[in-house]
């Protein structure tokens, strides 16, 4: 089938196959991590396709076999925030990324993300917000931000808070890595296929007659590639524990439940949580509680406020240093204990930004 090239950047490849558009995240050595240039390349294209009646579908995939997208370029963000040179990347990156996430979530055309391999942080924003998310046995999906002194953003307030059995709270606080079919069972992927069938899946999508493309048609096609031997949910035995122990009116209540439970699994979770930023955990807990009550565009207003507070504070920069720069994996959180993170501090994170700085996105039919 003839494919015509659309002007592209080296890091974001775009092709047109009749009425379909295929986007390839092309930074395989960086596990296709999302940077500001890629956001600025993709957003106007997706806007154009969304409004163009000649475009019937958008497919997004990662280059190479290791990753769909391993996250956003947070190193550039922390460097910008600490620099005293007038750089605005720490504002621009999140603002423009959230505009893109919101557009993906409200796209009028079927948007299909082939999430083969590592899918973390910003990679979830490029996929989970979309209508169709196709996982494989090689998919590894996680929102590990509490270990970085940040919070699970890119719409996580919306899609994590709406997962069954308090699974979203568990994933958000612990950064637990979902593997393969678990991404589908958790509800973060809509379909599952074998990685060896991905090329066939993509070609079948491209072969769909444009006039026949509907959500139902795409859904039916993707279901045809579902393996007969999909593994069961590996958390099926723990889900009752997650539902009861990660339910609480405060983060402290969850921690107490885990401590009182005494089981080996509960103690393991406490050990994991003890390594996370106390501030991040307190903010993340409230983020998911509030996210459940907010409309889709309004979660991005909240999340943008949180990003700007985090770049002003200590833990995000310390997390980036410990995990991404020095790689000693020994962050010195401040405050170091959950009980020392005051409600006044958490309130500050959620407070409106100075006049004219809040991110306001249009209401939608989402």
State the catalytic residue, choosing from 71, 105, 117, 122. 122
Selected catalytic residue, list 72, 130, 168, 175: 72
Q: Which residue among the candidates 73, 97, 116, 153 is catalytic per the annotation?
A: 153
CA distance 73 to 56: 31
Find the length of the chain. 366
72 noted as active-site residue:
yes
CA separation for the pair 349, 309 (Å, rounded): 5
301-332: buried (b, 16+ CB within 10 Å) or exposed (e) per residue?
bbbbbbbbbbbebbbbbbbbbbbeeeeeeebe
Q: Is 153 a catalytic residue?
A: yes
Pairing relationship of beta strands 140-142 and 118-120 according to DSSP bridges: parallel
Q: Which of 54, 45, 47 has the alpha carbon at shortest distance from 24?
A: 45
Distance CA 195, CA 139 (A): 9
Q: DSSP alpha helices (H): ranges in the chain? A: 36-51, 74-82, 89-105, 122-127, 156-159, 167-174, 181-186, 198-207, 215-224, 239-245, 251-261, 264-273, 278-291, 296-312, 315-320, 343-350
- Residues 172 and 362: their CA atoms lie apart, in Å, by 26
Catalytic hit among 116, 145, 315, 318: 145
Catalytic residue numbers read 72, 122, 145, 153
């Amino acid at each position: 089938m003839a494919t015509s090239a659309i002007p592209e950047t080296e890091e974001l490849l775009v092709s047109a196959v009749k009425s379909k558009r295929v986007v390839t995240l092309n930074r395989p050595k960086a596990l296709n991590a999302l940077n500001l240039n890629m956001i600025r390349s993709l957003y106007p294209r997706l806007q154009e396709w969304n409004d163009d009646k000649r475009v019937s579908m958008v497919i997004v995939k990662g280059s190479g076999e290791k990753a769909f997208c391993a996250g956003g370029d947070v190193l550039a963000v922390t460097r910008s925030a600490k620099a005293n040179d007038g750089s605005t990347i720490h504002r621009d990156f999140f603002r423009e990324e959230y505009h893109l996430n919101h557009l993906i979530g409200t796209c009028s055309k079927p948007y299909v993300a082939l999430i083969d391999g590592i899918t973390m942080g910003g990679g979830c924003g490029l996929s989970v917000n979309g209508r169709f998310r196709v996982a494989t046995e090689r998919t590894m999906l996680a929102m590990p931000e509490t270990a970085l002194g940040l919070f699970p953003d890119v719409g996580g307030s919306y899609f994590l808070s709406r997962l069954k059995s308090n699974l979203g709270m568990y994933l958000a606080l612990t950064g637990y890595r979902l593997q393969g079919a678990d991404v589908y069972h958790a509800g973060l992927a809509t379909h599952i296929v074998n990685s060896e069938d991905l090329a066939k899946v993509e070609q079948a999508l491209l072969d769909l007659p444009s006039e026949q493309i509907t959500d139902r048609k795409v859904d039916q096609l993707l279901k045809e590639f579902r393996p007969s031997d999909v593994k069961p949910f590996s958390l099926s035995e723990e889900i009752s524990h997650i539902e009861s122990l990660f339910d609480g009116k405060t983060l402290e209540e969850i921690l107490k439940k885990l401590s009182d439970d005494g089981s080996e699994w509960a103690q393991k979770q406490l050990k994991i949580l003890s390594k996370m930023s106390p501030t991040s955990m307190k903010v993340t807990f409230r983020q998911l509680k509030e996210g459940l009550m907010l409309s889709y565009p309004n979660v991005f207003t909240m999340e943008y406020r949180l990003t700007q507070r985090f770049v002003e504070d200590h833990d995000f920069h310390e997390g980036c240093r410990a995990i991404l720069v020095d790689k000693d994996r020994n962050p010195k959180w401040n405050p170091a204990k959950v009980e020392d993170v005051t409600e006044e501090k958490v309130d500050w994170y959620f407070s409106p930004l100075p006049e004219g700085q809040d991110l306001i996105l249009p209401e939608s039919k989402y």
